[in-house]
Amino acid sequence: MLPDVQTLKPDIPVNLSKVGARGIKKLVMVTKGKGRPAILISTFDVFVDLKPTRKGINLSRSFEAIDEVIESLTAKPVRWIEELNLKIVETLLERHEYANKAEVYMVSELILRKRTPVSNYQTQEVVNVLCEASKDRTGDKKVFIGVEVSGITACPCAQELVKAKAAEKLLAEGFSEEDVKKVLSAVPVATHNQRGKATVKVQITDGFKVSIEQLIDIAKAGMSYDIYELLKREDELAVVEGAHSNPVFVEDSVRIMAKTAVEMLKDAPDEIVVFFRQENEESIHQHNVMAERVATIGELRKELYG
Cα 88 from Cα 298, distance rounded (Å): 30
Residue 254, SS3? helix
The type of residue at 219 is: A
Nearest residue (CB) to a second copy, 52 versus 269: 52
Cα 65 from Cα 248, distance rounded (Å): 44
In whole angstroms, how close is the CB of 248 to a second copy at the nearest point? 10
The stretch among 91-99, 140-148, 177-185, 198-206 that binds a second copy (CB under 8 A) is 177-185
Instruction: Note whether 120 binds a second copy by CB under 8 A.
Output: no
Kind and range of the H or E element at 128?
strand 122-136
Nearest residue (CB) to a second copy, 80 versus 167: 167
Instruction: Note whether 255 binds a second copy by CB under 8 A.
Output: yes
In this structure, the dihedral spanned by the alpha carbons of residues 136, 45, 250 and 266, taken in order and rounded to 10 degrees, is: -40
The 187-226 site mask, x for binding a second copy (CB under 8 A), equals xxxxxxxxx-------------------------------
Instruction: Note whether 301 binds a second copy by CB under 8 A.
Output: no
The stretch among 83-91, 129-137, 205-213, 256-264 that binds a second copy (CB under 8 A) is 256-264
Rg (CA), the chain: 24
The stretch among 81-89, 206-214, 263-271, 276-284 that binds a second copy (CB under 8 A) is 276-284
Classify residue 90 by burial, with Cβ atoms within 10 Å: 0-12, 13-18, 19+: middle
Task: Return the residues of window 82-111 that contact a second copy according to CB under 8 A.
Answer: 109, 111
Task: Return the residues of window 40-79 that contact a second copy according to CB under 8 A.
Answer: 41, 45, 47, 50, 52, 55-57, 59-60, 63-64, 67, 71
Task: Return the residues of window 138-167 that contact a second copy according to CB under 8 A.
Answer: 150, 152, 154, 156-158, 160-166
Nearest residue (CB) to a second copy, 179 versus 271: 179
Instruction: Note whether 35 binds a second copy by CB under 8 A.
Output: no
Q: In what order do the strands lie in the sheet with 141-154?
A: 38-50, 101-115, 122-136, 141-154, 193-204, 273-280
Q: How many residues does the chain have?
A: 306
Instruction: Note whether 298 binds a second copy by CB under 8 A.
Output: no
Nearest alpha carbon to residue 107 among 20, 206, 23: 23
Residue count, binding to a second copy (CB under 8 A): 120
- The phi, psi pair for 144, rounded to 5°, reads -120, 145
Nearest residue (CB) to a second copy, 107 versus 209: 107
Q: Which one of 74, 100, 123, 246 is in contact with a second copy (CB under 8 A)?
A: 123
Residue 158, SS3? helix
